[in-house]
Structure formats: C-alpha cells, structure tokens
C-alpha cells in the first residue's frame, strides 16, 4: 500500500512538472472555496487541486482557526499524520482542540502526537471512548468537526463519511458536508459532544434535532434499544414515510449493507421500486451479495462501486465507496422536494448501537451536488 501511495505521489509530481513546462497540460481547476456551505468530495483517482479534497478541507480549517477559538472533533480513527500535525499546530498557537477517538484506535502515532501537544495546553484533550461514548456496546464511529471560527467565519460544522486516515483520501470515495454561520447546527453537534466526552452509559442516548422547520435535521445514534428492530431504525422510518410511486427518485450509496437491518432496508427499497419509485443503489465491498440480487430482481439498479477483487479490509490496495449516503426527490405539498442524508451510518445492525450521525440536508443545490457525485461514481464502475 505504501508503494502504491508513493507511485501516486510521483505521478502527481510528474503531472505538475509536465503542466508547468507546457507538455501534457490539463485544464486548470480552481482550488475549492473552503468556507462555503457546500459538499466536498474525495475522488481517490484525482490529482492536483481535485485530489485529497476532504483531507485538505480539515487541514485548512485547523490551520486557519484563530488563537482562542475552539475545535471539537469525533472520529473512529486518526492515522493521517498530515491531519494530526495540523491539530498540533493549532494547539501550539492557542486553539483549544478537543478530540474523541474510538479507544481501539487510540494507539496510533498520530493520536499520540496530539495527546503530547495537549499536555502543555490543559484546555485541549483527547478522549479515547470505550465502545459507544453514550451506551454499552458499539463504538465511536461518528466523523464530524465543529469550529467556533475559521478565519472570519463563525459556527462551522463539518460532517460526513471521511475518516482522518490516509486510506480516507488515497483509496476511498468519501464526502464531507459543511455548514458555515449556522449556530443551530453547530450547537446541536456540541450538545451531543458534551455527552460523548463524559464517556458514560445513558439509558436514552439517542438524540434528534430539527432545522429549517423540519426540512433539515440531525440524528445521533445509538438508538434506545440494545437489540434494535426495524421499529427502532430512523432509516426505516425515513424510507416508509417518503411518497411511493412515479416522481420519487431515491439514490443510495452505502459502504455496508448486510445483516437483519440490511434486509429490512432492502425490503423498504423494494417496496418503493414495486410502487413505481425509481431506486438506484451503490454498494461497497461489505454489502451482502444476496441482498444485491434481491434488489436487482425487483428492478433496482445496483452498482458494485469498488474495484474488482476489493475486500472490506481498509488496508487493501483498491478504490471503493466509503459513503453512507442517500438522496431523494419527491413531490409533497404540491412542490418538488430535494433531500440529502449523509454521515457515518452504515446500513448494518451494528451501526444502530454505535455513536453515529446522519445529517439531513434540504435544497436543490446540495441535492444536485450529491447526485452528480453519485452519477460520476456509477460511470466509473
């Protein structure tokens, strides 16, 4: 894997040299606007400014967080030293950085570097949570950051499927969605963070927040049942509440879909397809082949969105979707609606007892961004 990443770096440098000399030059792509309310996507095949986008967004924000500001982050894993170095730089110039990582992944050198930096800055810390941070079992799997300020922008919240790992940009199709100047979203994430950093079991850990009159929202797992059924599943509730039939278009891109939860969500998608809804599904390596066959038999378009021979082991040498994503457009109240749901929730039973988040986003602009990204991946595979 290291050799492959080295080859990729050399190819990028060679491409830059050729462009600079006028040979093999590609059209120039402007660097992203890092401070927009927008989706940011990682294409593992990309080079130049189009590459490493989710990673570069996070690094940019730590490097542009002013002294005296506060950053809170949750991540299943932290192994990318470029990100941990940015965290350390921020701590050293006076940014308070508070990080929650799954205990099983707290032994990495990247985590250790941040821990060392916090020794001399007592307001900053790294908490390694045992299982879910708010209930027995599960794990910390949420991927989110809140920044009190980045440059002159306040109340920044970032959420999606991108782990703080080298694999997260080198091999994975991932996303991060960012809200800027949104104190309501910022406060919701920080309210849950306040519970997570205590690392104590709660009888009712599930939290749900509504934004924009219910058009947007955030759902924070675990659910309130150690043996969840479809009745406990917010995604089941979402799918069954969407209008079924012509005019409804559902796209799903999920890294994992298996187990009893994968089965009942497959049933929900098939019910839509049989009623006339258009349903498109992209699966990652851990998806259940039998569920894929059931979807295809019901007329659902299924794309195996990973390189041939790819396994679910993250240290493999192939590209694959790591998304936990759904989009829908439908008619309600006489008007066409556009929704995106993204975050850290794989469509597997285990996810319901993890620390996970799903962010609901309303509006045609973000919907179009995500649909374009999904369609781009479908064309690759």
CA distances in angstroms from 219 to 186, 207, 234, 341, listed in the order given:
14, 6, 8, 10
Please give the share of the chain, as a percent, with pLDDT higher than 70.
91
In this predicted structure, the answer to whether residue 314 has a pLDDT above a threshold of 90 is no
In this predicted structure, the answer to whether residue 31 has a pLDDT above a threshold of 80 is no
In this predicted structure, the answer to whether residue 2 has a pLDDT above a threshold of 90 is no
The DSSP secondary structure of 118-145, one letter per residue, reads: HHT-TT-EEEEESSSSSSSSS-B---EE
- In this prediction, residue 315 carries a pLDDT of 63
Higher pLDDT, 312 or 309: 309
CATH classification of 217-380, choosing from 3.50.50.60, 3.20.20.370, 3.30.870.10, 3.20.20.60? 3.30.870.10
Q: What is the pLDDT of residues 67-84, one digit of tens each?
A: 999 999 999 999 999 999
Q: What is the pLDDT of residues 208-263, one digit of tens each?
A: 999 999 999 999 999 989 899 999 999 999 999 999 999 999 999 999 999 999 99
CB atoms within 10 A of CB 191: 13
CA distances in angstroms from 340 to 218, 290, 337, listed in the order given:
11, 27, 10
**Cα–Cα distance measured from residue 186 to residue 27, given in angstroms and rounded to the nearest whole number:** 37
Q: What is the pLDDT of residues 254-293, one digit of tens each?
A: 999 999 999 999 999 999 999 999 999 999 999 999 999 9
Lowest mean pLDDT across 22-26, 146-150, 166-170? 22-26
- In this prediction, residue 317 carries a pLDDT of 81
Task: Please tell me if the domain spanning 32-196 has the same topology as the one spanning 217-380.
Answer: yes
Domain boundaries, the chain: 1-30, 32-196, 217-380
CA distances in angstroms from 262 to 1, 51, 145, 211, 286, listed in the order given:
31, 32, 28, 28, 11
In this predicted structure, the answer to whether residue 17 has a pLDDT above a threshold of 60 is no
Two tokens, residue 10: 């050399």
- Direct distance between the N- and C-terminal alpha carbons of the chain, in angstroms, rounded to an integer: 22
In this predicted structure, the answer to whether residue 15 has a pLDDT above a threshold of 80 is no
36: three-class secondary structure by DSSP? coil
- In this prediction, residue 224 carries a pLDDT of 87
**Cα–Cα distance measured from residue 340 to residue 212, given in angstroms and rounded to the nearest whole number:** 14
Q: What is the pLDDT of residues 32-66, one digit of tens each?
A: 899 999 999 999 999 998 999 999 999 999 999 99
> What is the fold, at CATH topology level, of the domain defined by 32-196?
Endonuclease; Chain A (3.30.870)
């Amino acid at each position: 894997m290291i050799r492959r990443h080295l080859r990729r770096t050399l190819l990028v440098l060679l491409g830059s040299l050729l462009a600079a000399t006028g040979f093999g030059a590609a059209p120039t792509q402007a660097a992203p606007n890092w401070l927009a309310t927008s989706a940011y996507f990682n294409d593992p095949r990309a080079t130049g400014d189009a590459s490493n986008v989710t990673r570069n967004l996070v690094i940019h924000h730590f490097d542009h967080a002013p002294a005296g500001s506060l950053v809170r982050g949750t991540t299943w894993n932290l192994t990318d030293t470029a990100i941990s170095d940015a965290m350390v730089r921020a701590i050293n110039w006076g940014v308070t950085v508070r990080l929650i990582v799954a205990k099983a992944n707290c032994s990495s050198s990247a985590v250790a570097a941040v821990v060392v930096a916090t020794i001399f800055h007592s307001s900053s810390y790294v908490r390694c949570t045992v299982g879910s941070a708010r209930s027995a079992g599960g794990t910390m799997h949420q991927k989110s950051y809140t920044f009190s300020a980045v440059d002159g922008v306040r109340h920044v919240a970032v959420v999606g499927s991108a782990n703080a790992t080298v694999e997260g940009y080198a091999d994975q199709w991932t996303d991060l969605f960012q809200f800027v100047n949104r104190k309501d979203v910022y406060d919701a994430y920080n309210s849950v963070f306040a519970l997570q950093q205590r690392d104590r079991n709660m009888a009712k850990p599930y939290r749900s927040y509504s934004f924009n009159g219910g058009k947007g929202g955030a759902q924070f797992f675990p659910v309130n049942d150690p043996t969840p059924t479809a009745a406990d599943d917010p995604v089941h509730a979402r799918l069954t509440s969407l209008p079924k039939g012509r005019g409804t278009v559902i796209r799903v891109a999920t890294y994992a879909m298996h187990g009893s939860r994968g089965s009942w969500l497959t049933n929900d998608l098939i019910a839509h397809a049989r009623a006339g809804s258009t349903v498109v599904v992209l699966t990652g390596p851990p998806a259940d082949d039998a569920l894929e066959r059931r979807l295809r038999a019901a007329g659902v378009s299924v794309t195996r969105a990973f390189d041939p021979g790819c396994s679910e082991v993250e240290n493999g040498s192939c590209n694959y979707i790591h998304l936990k994503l759904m989009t829908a457009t439908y008619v309600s109240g006489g008007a066409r609606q556009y929704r995106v749901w993204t975050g850290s929730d794989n469509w597997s039973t285990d996810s319901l007892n993890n620390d996970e988040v799903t962010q609901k986003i309303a509006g045609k602009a973000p919907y179009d961004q995500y649909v374009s990204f999904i369609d781009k991946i479908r064309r690759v595979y």
